[in-house]
Amino acid sequence: MELTPRYKTLYNDALEKSSLRHTKQREHIFSIILEKKDHPTADEIFTRSREKMPSISLATVYNCLETLVESSLIRQVNFERESTRYCPNLRPHAHFLCKRTGAIHDVDLPDSLIKQLEETLPENFNPEHIEINFSGSNNSND
């Protein structure tokens, strides 16, 4: 429930860089996303956060998530029109949604492949962001 020193530094630096305030709620929500990297929705984060902080509101959860995304501490993950999910993995990666279990898995992507994808674009297109989402099924037991 406490941020490790490494993440505490990351968190402090990110907020200070954007001159945002350091609040209990923001830190708590960040710790919940780091605790179990299962790509929870805002509502799941709300439920988990109330265990240790019963007075937090859903609006605050949404506000904190927005702040954490803008500070680049976490990323949003969207599949179709399902609820937005949140991911603390900042490396370039794709997501795989298993339709059988509902679980979302991170899939690391080599830089070379991302470069190849960018090279498919016309010359005058400047990509700032890429999102790559697979869906299907997997046979493993998780």
Cα angle 113-114-115, degrees, rounded to a multiple of 5: 90
Pick the closer one to its own copies by CB: 90 or 113: 113
Least distance (Å) between residue 92 CB and DNA: 23
Nearest-angstrom CA–CA distance, 97 and 80: 11
Q: Which does 130 bind (CB under 5 to 8 A by kind): DNA, its own copies, none?
A: its own copies
Helix axes 24-35, 5-17, angle to 10 degrees: 130
Pick the closer one to its own copies by CB: 6 or 129: 129
The footprint of its own copies on residues 76-95 (CB under 8 A) is 76, 78, 80-81, 84, 94
- Count of residues of this chain found to bind its own copies when the rule CB under 8 A is applied: 38
Q: Is 89 among the residues that bind DNA (CB under 7 A)? A: no
How many angstroms separate the first and last alpha carbons of the chain? 24
Picking from 110, 108, 101, 107, the residue whose alpha carbon sits closest to that of residue 136 is 101
Residues near DNA (CB under 7 A) are 20-26, 41-43, 53, 55-60, 62-64, 66-67, 81, 83-84
